[in-house]
A and B are shown apart, each in its own frame.
Chain A
Amino acid sequence: MGKQIKIAITLVIVGGLLTTAAFLMAFYTAEVQTFGFATLNKAVDTVYPLAPANMQPTDGSINYQRPGFAQKIFYFHVPIAEASFLVFTIAGIFAVLFLRKRRKSYDTKSRIAMETALIFVIATMLTGDIWTRASWGVWWEWEPRLTTYLIMMLLMIAYFVLRNSIEDEERRATYSAVFAIVAWIDAPISFFITRLIPSTHPIVFKSGMAPSILIPFIIAQVGMLMIGYAIFVLRVGEEDLRTRLDISKEALEG
């Protein structure tokens, strides 16, 4: 128990250092990138300069040079978003495990993973909003990725609303596991939708990345995952203590 917490705290520190390192690298070593295709017809976009001729796509759309500063959010927004999908998936896996084994600990883990995923989703939304404002000139755009991602957030909120409305522990665990699985169906839809439907949201990893960009990106990703894992472990430990406290309370009361 104590050992786990030590590991978790170490992970928080290392993860924090890595993210900070990635932050510095993003601003000092990474090359400025014209990121994504600007097929937007937003008037505000036209204030950006055109990309050089050799970087113009051949399909008729036009690449604009985005302000380099806004692009830096990429090193944080994308790792957090990817972590959110991963943690959501973990919540789904624990939900399946719960339905198969009916062990309360799986329910607790599924719930905590869902909490962590929700934190990541909200962070993704915030960083994403800053970027859309800078890059598209609007705070919100009803485009496929943003929309499905918003739905994912609503599903997670619904998960907690459902949990809070059921008294019986076992029923609560079962229903929320079932709903977690149903809700998870939206995750692959949201993840792959930019590849299926024409979308203004940039697609990452479609073409390769320069090492000076890739390295801080990977460092940030690893840092985020460490922090995410640490949050998860600490919360599981906390819940464990809480149940033990409840048991001893009950025993004392007789």
Chain B
Amino acid sequence: MAQSNDYVMERKPKEKKPETPSKIKVSNWRQFKAIIRKDIVMEMRTKEMITSMGLYALLVLVIYYIALSQAGQGFDFTRIAAGLLFLAIIFTSLLGLNRSLVHEQDQGCLEALLLAPIDRPIIFLGKAVGNFIFLCIVEVFIVPIFYFLFLGGGALAQSGPWWMLVVAILVGSVGIAGAGTLMATMSVNTRGKDFILAVMFVPVMFPLLLIIVTAMTSVIVANPGYVASFWQQIAGAVVFDVVMVGVGYVLYDFVLGA
């Protein structure tokens, strides 16, 4: 079309404008994909979130060793393994959630996002799914390391199938990403930032953590009848996830508007 630099001056002729106010056809799916792709491209470039989260998780595991070093022979580690693992995941995710929203806040990008014709819940879902993906990537690192450091040598020989543990971790991560995205969006606009995020996030997540850790421990210990109780716990956790993501979906609009 135009070769000159002055193209931007040219306006579409008035008649071309449709009668309806909307000039373009908005596709929620396309916007959702764009937000996720942007987050991934940025992360692949800087690797800021994944390295800091991974390193932090590793440090937490090293400190676990100190805590456990005096536990003695008769100590049954399998009963606290799930709890320790989720402790590492929750503190690591705090770091990532904060980072992910600081990116948006830094140069006012969130404002530019809000100025686009985009439904607010799409922004929430985009950010939450992005955070979920990063959390999963970090978990792919930490969980095997945790296994080799603390549960190697047949500690899990009596346990239920490993995929049940994966289900539990995934269900837990959904809740973390959902509620975390909502709260991190608030906390980046406060004076305390990551401290405020921790103060809000830990108690809100408490019921979910308790359920997930109970479910995982029941699989690891594998007492008779553990399958039924596992699915019961997971059902409870899924309800919690749905409530948290639902609340985030509805309330995100207000958070962004402030």
Contact = CB atoms under 8 A, between A and B. Distances in A.
Direct contact of A and B (CB under 8 A): yes
Interface of A: 99, 147-148, 151, 154-155, 157-158, 161-162, 165-168, 170-171, 174-175, 177-179, 181-183, 185-186, 189
A168 to B, nearest CB: 8
B257 A174 contact: yes
Contacts of A157: 199
A170 B196 contact: no
Contacts of A168: 258
A28 B206 CA distance: 42
Contacts of A147: 210
B204 interface: yes
A181 B204 contact: no
A189 B243 CA distance: 12
B176 interface: no
Interface of B: 179, 182-183, 186, 189-192, 196, 199-200, 202-204, 206-207, 210, 243-244, 247, 251, 254-255, 257-258
Nearest to A179: B200
Q: Is the interface of B mostly helix, strand, loop or mixed?
A: helix
A48 to B, nearest CB: 30
Given A151-B207, A155-B204, A162 B199 contact: yes
B251 to A, nearest CB: 5
A178 B254 contact: yes
Contacts of A167: 191
A177 B254 CA distance: 9
Given A158-B199, A174-B258, A183 B204 contact: yes
A22 B240 CA distance: 40
A155 B207 CA distance: 12
B207 A189 contact: yes
A171 B189 contact: yes
Given A165-B191, A185-B243, A158 B255 contact: no
A175 B203 CA distance: 17
Contacts of A154: 202-203
Contacts of B182: 178, 182
B203 A186 contact: yes
Nearest to B186: A175
